[in-house]
Amino acid sequence: MERAEELLKLEHVKKAYDGQEVLKDFSLTVHRGEVIVIVGASGCGKSTLLRCINGLEPIQGGRISLQGQVIDGRAKNIADIRQKIGMVFQSYDLFPHKTIMQNTTLAPIKVQKRIRADAEKEAEELLQRVGILDKKDNYPRQLSGGQKQRAAIVRALMMHPEIMLFDEVTAALDPEMVREVLDTMLELARSGMTMLIVTHEMSFAKAVADRVVFLDDGVTVEEGTPEEFFERPKTERAKRFLHTFEFDSVKK
Amino acid sequence: MDWNVIQEYLPLYKEAAVLTLRIGWIGILFAVILGFICAMIQHYRVPILRQITKVYIELFRNTPLLVQLFFIYFGLPKVGLPVSADVCGAAGLALLGGSYMAETFRSGLEAVETVQMESALSLGMKWFQAMRYVVLPQAISISVPAFTANVIFLLKETSVFSAISLMDLMFTAKDLIGLYYKTTESLFLLVVFYLIILLPVSIAASLIERRLRYAGFGN
């Protein structure tokens, strides 16, 4: 693989809640255009990791930087850095008092001071791309879970981020809606977006990832291409983890 | 009922109603400001100020307005701070109302999920922008029913102003009864004037609430 620009760099990151270590010495470098999927059991620190990258959680050690700029939730420039990091949450978290159009154009207009007409035009194009343009004047509560999640993705994309973070974005969705959201993400990956994805959808991980990071107990246990990780896991812990999914699929 | 008496009394009641409304709205305005500040302090757990506001809220929520007015009206001059009856009435209402409004706004703020703030921040908004465009509009809408109930309650509480010799509606009615013994007419006008003041507020409140329900949230 060609070495593109180093976009996001995590070096020896430590994160603890009330003395309990969630991330222990975690390092990861994301290059431009890469799609990295982070897998691991619940509570292994995956979501915390994304929240730290966005400066929503302070870290107790190490360094996180985007294009060389250190990310610190209390620093003055954090709002500028966050614009470059698009984040999509598990529970969509659209603004319930605003229409889909207002949801997607609020930050571009207020934060980036873009002209309303331009922002709305771009929002329409993106909503069209994810197939919910007809919902632009609806409120979030009038949309299905999958539609809301696609709107949330558009809202994040509107800021023209350098990298997109996805925190178990399909975990709260009905099975038939999972597909439409994953398709949106696949298309985004194809368009060259740099993405960091936390997911439990293993077949999706296989399809979309350039690299898979298996996180367990706050450390990277295994890292590799999807073929390596899913077909020939090296560690016992990864084998056990992957086995739980096979077991699940047998029961269905 | 003597309609001539009523016509004769009408200007006096009008004057009293104006006073009730004037002091009432100033008191409520400051109650809103005070309540909002206290709610923000409570919700964001500002150290020290949080304990102070808590004491203030509990003190004023759990004592009658009449007692509070007596303290302000008769107590402050004793420590060299004489206040006029007008100021005293407005201040008493603001302090009582502030403690109620604080609880109302605080529960509104609490009803907005923290992830709303986080998703606004993650879009690159500054804290104040996230507050202004995302959190507060939701918190305020949620607070509206309790807020309007507070406004109506506070307007009714103005009826104790007569105790510090403010010539409000209650004072006027009591005064006229004492002077001319026209009890029926005086009390009739008293009820009518309170209704004139409060009914529009109640109707406006239920209209606003219905609109908010219609635009209802839910994610």
- CB within 8 Å: B123 and A91: no
- CB within 8 Å: A56 and B216: no
**Closest residue to B124, CB basis, from A82, A89, A140:** A82
Q: Which amino acid is at A224?
A: G
pTM listed for this prediction: 0.83
**Closest residue to A97, CB basis, from B120, B123, B217:** B217
**Closest residue to A93, CB basis, from B119, B125, B126:** B119
| pLDDT at residue A251, as a whole number | 56
Query: Greatest CA separation found in chain B?
Result: 70
Tell me: pLDDT of B100 over 90. yes
DSSP A75: S
Q: Worst-scoring range by mean pLDDT, A138-147, A226-235, B204-213?
A: B204-213
| pLDDT at residue A126, as a whole number | 94
pLDDT tens digits for range B116-173: 999 999 999 999 999 999 999 999 888 998 999 999 999 999 999 888 888 889 999 9
Tell me: pLDDT of B217 over 60. no
Crossing angle between the packed helical segments B3-43 and B49-61, to the nearest 10 degrees: 150
Q: Which residues contact A34 (CB under 8 A, 6 or more apart)?
A: A4, A7, A194, A195, A210, A211
Looking at chain A, which residue has its C-alpha nearest residue B114? A93
- Overall number of domains in chain B: 1
| pLDDT at residue B49, as a whole number | 94
Closest Cα partner for A143 from B122, A154, A105? A154
Q: Which residues contact B67 (CB under 8 A, 6 or more apart)?
A: none
Are A226 and A35 contacting, i.e. CB atoms less than 8 angstroms apart? Answer: no
Looking at chain A, which residue has its C-alpha nearest residue B216? A97
Residue A85 in contact with partner chain B when CB distance is under 8 A: yes
Are B155 and B65 contacting, i.e. CB atoms less than 8 angstroms apart? Answer: no
**Closest residue to B122, CB basis, from A56, A91, A94:** A56
Are B54 and B96 contacting, i.e. CB atoms less than 8 angstroms apart? Answer: no
pLDDT tens digits for range A63-113: 999 998 999 888 888 999 999 999 999 888 999 999 999 999 999 999 999
**Closest residue to B138, CB basis, from A54, A97, A111:** A97
| Tokens 């996001």 found at | A8
Residue A90 in contact with partner chain B when CB distance is under 8 A: no
| pLDDT at residue A148, as a whole number | 93
Four-residue CA torsion sign, B89, B93, B95, B96: positive
Q: What percent of chain B has pLDDT over 90?
A: 63
Looking at chain A, which residue has its C-alpha nearest residue B118? A56
**B216 interaction partners in chain A (CB closer than 8 Å):** 141
Q: Please state, in angstroms and rounded to a whole number, the distance separating the CA atoms of residues A230 and A205.
A: 10
Element (H, E) at A19: none
Tell me: pLDDT of A219 over 90. no
* Environment class of A234 (CB within 10 Å of its CB; exposed 0-12, middle 13-18, buried 19+): middle
| pLDDT at residue B23, as a whole number | 92
- The encoded tokens of residue A93 equal 């978290």
| pLDDT at residue A165, as a whole number | 94
Q: What is the CATH number of the domain that holds B95?
A: 1.10.3720.10
pLDDT tens digits for range B48-66: 999 999 999 999 999 999 9
Count A/B contacts: CB-CB distance under 8 Å: 74
- The encoded tokens of residue A123 equal 């929002």
Domain that holds residue B109: 3-215
| pLDDT at residue A3, as a whole number | 65
**A140 interaction partners in chain B (CB closer than 8 Å):** 219
Which candidate in A110, A139, A164 is best for mutational testing of the B interface (most B CBs within 10 A)? A110
Q: Worst-scoring range by mean pLDDT, A41-50, A138-147, A187-196, B200-209?
A: A41-50
Strands annotated E in chain A: 6-17, 20-31, 35-39, 61-66, 69-70, 85-88, 163-167, 194-198, 211-216, 219-224
**A86 interaction partners in chain B (CB closer than 8 Å):** 122
**Would you place residue B218 in the very low, low, confident or very high pLDDT band (cuts 50, 70, 90)?**
very low
B101–chain A nearest CA distance, Å:
22
Q: How much is the average pLDDT of A208-237?
A: 89
* Environment class of B6 (CB within 10 Å of its CB; exposed 0-12, middle 13-18, buried 19+): middle
Q: Please state, in angstroms and rounded to a whole number, the distance separating the CA atoms of residues A39 and A75.
A: 30
| pLDDT at residue A100, as a whole number | 95
What number of CA atoms fall less than 13 Å from residue B38's CA on the CB side? 28
pLDDT tens digits for range A28-59: 999 999 999 999 887 778 888 999 999 999 99
